[in-house]
């Protein structure tokens, strides 16, 4: 008998919802328009006015936070897969 078959149904349902959310985060990619704007500003960083520089810093911060969340989600999924392989 597998572990997943012995887990209470409400707990299993909650875990599946968590795993689905983690999978979405683990597969996250910046929207193409955001990635394009980030690249565009980065390539011109020596010539940016203060407003554009603020925009670049905001986009860099946003991108870094999403990257960290993506890596954390991937690590969490891996750990869950080791403990509950039937669910992941």
Q: pLDDT (tens digit, 9 = 90+) per residue, 31-77?
A: 999 999 999 999 999 999 999 999 999 999 999 999 999 999 999 99
Are 77 and 23 a contacting pair, CB within 8 Å? yes
pLDDT attached to residue 84: 87
Domain ranges of the chain: 3-83
Task: Determine the Cα–Cα distance for residues 13 and 62; give it in Å rounded to an integer.
Answer: 31
Residue 5 has pLDDT above 70, yes or no: no
Closest to 26 (Cα-Cα) out of 81, 74, 76, 88: 74
User: pTM of the full predicted structure?
Assistant: 0.82
Query: Does the structure show a pLDDT above 80 at 83?
Result: yes
Are 87 and 12 contacting, i.e. CB atoms less than 8 angstroms apart? yes
More confident site: 3 or 74: 74
pLDDT bin (cut points 50, 70, 90) of residue 9 is confident
Residue recorded with tokens 């955001």? 34
CA 69, chain centre distance (Å) = 4
């Amino acid at each position: 008998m597998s572990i997943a078959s012995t887990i209470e149904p409400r707990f299993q349902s909650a875990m599946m919802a968590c795993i689905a959310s983690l999978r979405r985060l683990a597969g996250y990619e910046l929207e193409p328009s955001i990635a394009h704007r980030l690249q565009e500003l980065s390539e011109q960083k020596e010539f940016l006015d203060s407003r554009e520089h603020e925009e670049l810093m905001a986009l860099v911060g946003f991108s870094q936070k999403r990257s960290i969340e993506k890596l954390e989600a991937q690590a969490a999924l891996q750990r869950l897969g080791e403990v509950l392989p039937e669910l992941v």
